[in-house]
Amino acid sequence: MSSPAPDRSTVTRAPKVVLHDHLDGGLRPGTVLELAGEVGHRLPATDTESLAAWFRAAAGSGSLELYLETFTHTLAVMQTAEQLRRVARECAVDLAADGVVYAEVRFAPEQHLAGGLQLDEVVEAVQAGFAEGVADVAARGATTRVSTVLTAMRHAARSTEIAELAVRHRESGVVGFDIAGAEEGYPPSRHLAAFEYLHRENFPVTIHAGEAFGLPSIWEAVQVCGTSRLGHGVRIAEDIEVLGGRDDHGRPRARLGRTAAWVRDHRIPLEVCPTSNVDTGAARSVAEHPVTLLKDLRFRVTVNTDNRLVSGTSMSQEMTALVEQAGWDLADLRWATINAMKSAFLPFDERLDLIEDVVKPGYVALAAR
């Protein structure tokens, strides 16, 4: 039985969980303008509206490489402890205002050293900003929680150093490690030493894979690098043959290749970011995005923002787009949210508590209105 299609305000009020959100892709346009003015960085626009529009237009180029070029303007204003703390504080506040109750936010410390900071200082500044933001939210009577994922850039050669950095800060809210950046030509196995170190340390890993490059990248991330989650992972759909019609349980009839079957059988979470995928050309539209097929086939799908500023989005926007353009209903949103909470890099009991004490009651409250 399908549940009603929620409107935008219901989606905004629903408790949401985001596992894939880049700190340097989610700044407020006003903050970029203000900080750029302070450091003398030239931007392609001079007011918040046209700057936000510039990011949208530049990001929607259909290529990951061009999408990533827009980050020069955000990274330029994230090079001091004060700047990082402000951006992180605003990130926590903005996510909470959108109804996000748990977030894992990522960034690449190696990209924040131009102002003379050391790697540990970068992490400490961001952690301090998240703590301030969470406290601001609490002071206004709401609750959110933000964890940190440290990213290493896949074209660079600092992944082992960043992996060690992540492990050093595991007691203060760094919960995972990721690799990001241009995918083609930079397979995840280049960073095998970092992944092997992290496995020895029992430290969680997610890998951007199956966005700009297809199945081999996903296979390598899972089977060679032993990732716990897949950043995007949408091109797993290339390993699925849709046969048409539905089975007795209402699921689409389909034949899964070995990699797709492995990912589904082992419940490997897919951190799907629909708008970002449309921007980079990994999907034609939200309506045609493979996330709906993957949901119907009961992969462990989660819904994410990727880059709120760059893709002009939010969790509520991603979920509303899925409702309006791909036929998702409230039960689907709840399911994806619980999937995300189950897949978080938190201890099992804390994940369970958030599901039972926050997510499920939040959905009950929505239904009661």
Ligand X SMILES: O=c1[nH]cnc2c1ncn2[C@H]1C[C@H](O)[C@@H](CO)O1
Residues tagged active-site: 211
- For the bound state, the minimum distance from the C-beta of residue 232 to ligand X, rounded and expressed in Å, comes to 7
Cα–Cα distance measured from residue 154 to residue 66, given in angstroms and rounded to the nearest whole number: 16
Could you tell me the end-to-end alpha-carbon distance of the chain, in angstroms, rounded to an integer?
Answer: 21
Determine if residue 202 is left, alpha or beta; phi over 0 gives left, psi from -120 to 50 gives alpha, anything else beta. Answer: left
Cα–Cα distance measured from residue 187 to residue 209, given in angstroms and rounded to the nearest whole number: 9
Say if residue 306 carries a ligand binding annotation: yes
Question: How would DSSP label each residue in 9-67?
Answer: HHHHHS-EEEEEEEGGG---HHHHHHHHHHHT---S-SSHHHHHHHHHHHHTTS-HHHH
Q: Would you state the structure tokens that stand for residue 173, as one six-digit string?
A: 């809210």
Of 104, 306, 318, 332, the one binding Zn ion by CB under 5 A: 306
Question: Cβ distance 277 to 303 under 8 Å?
Answer: no
- For the bound state, the minimum distance from the C-beta of residue 14 to Zn ion, rounded and expressed in Å, comes to 23
Q: Is 178 helix (H, G, I), strand (E, B) or coil?
A: strand
Of 12, 16, 32, 71, the one binding ligand X by CB under 6 A: 71
State which residue has the least CB distance to Zn ion.
306
Of 10, 79, 83, 111, the one binding ligand X by CB under 6 A: 111
Nearest of 99, 73, 76 to residue 310 by alpha carbon:
73
Which residue number, 289 or 334, has a Cβ lying nearer to ligand X? 289
Cα–Cα distance measured from residue 33 to residue 42, given in angstroms and rounded to the nearest whole number: 9
Say if residue 239 carries a ligand binding annotation: no
Which residue number, 12 or 277, has a Cβ lying nearer to ligand X? 277
Stretch that binds ligand X, among 76-84, 102-110, 295-303, 354-362 (CB under 6 A): 102-110
Say if residue 112 carries a ligand binding annotation: no
Which residue number, 12 or 276, has a Cβ lying nearer to ligand X? 276
Stretch that binds ligand X, among 64-72, 95-103, 313-321, 334-342 (CB under 6 A): 64-72
Q: Of 187-226, which residues contact ligand X (CB under 6 A)?
A: 208, 211
Work out whether 107 is an interface residue with ligand X (CB under 6 A): yes
Name 17's bridge partners: 102
Which residue number, 173 or 362, has a Cβ lying nearer to ligand X? 173
Compute φ and ψ for 26, nearest 5 degrees.
-130, 20
Q: Would you state the structure tokens that stand for residue 308, as one six-digit string?
A: 């709120």
Question: Cβ distance 341 to 354 under 8 Å?
Answer: yes
Name residues whose C-beta falls within 8 Å of residue 257's C-beta, 6 or more positions apart in sequence. 215, 239, 240, 241
Q: Would you state the structure tokens that stand for residue 299, as one six-digit string?
A: 């992969």
Work out whether 26 is an interface residue with ligand X (CB under 6 A): no
Work out whether 279 is an interface residue with ligand X (CB under 6 A): no
Q: Would you state the structure tokens that stand for residue 259, as one six-digit string?
A: 């990699």
Binding mask 328-367 for ligand X (x = CB under 6 A): ----------------------------------------
Residue 239 binds which entry of ligand X, Zn ion, none, CB below 5-8 Å type-dependent: none
Numbered residues of the known binding site for Zn(2+): 20, 22, 208, 306
Q: Which residues bind Zn ion (CB under 5 A)?
A: 306
Numbered residues of the known binding site for substrate: 22, 24, 181
Q: Which residues bind ligand X (CB under 6 A)?
A: 22, 24-25, 64, 68, 71, 106-108, 111, 151, 180-181, 208, 211, 276, 306-307
Numbered residues of the known binding site: 20, 22, 24, 181, 208, 306
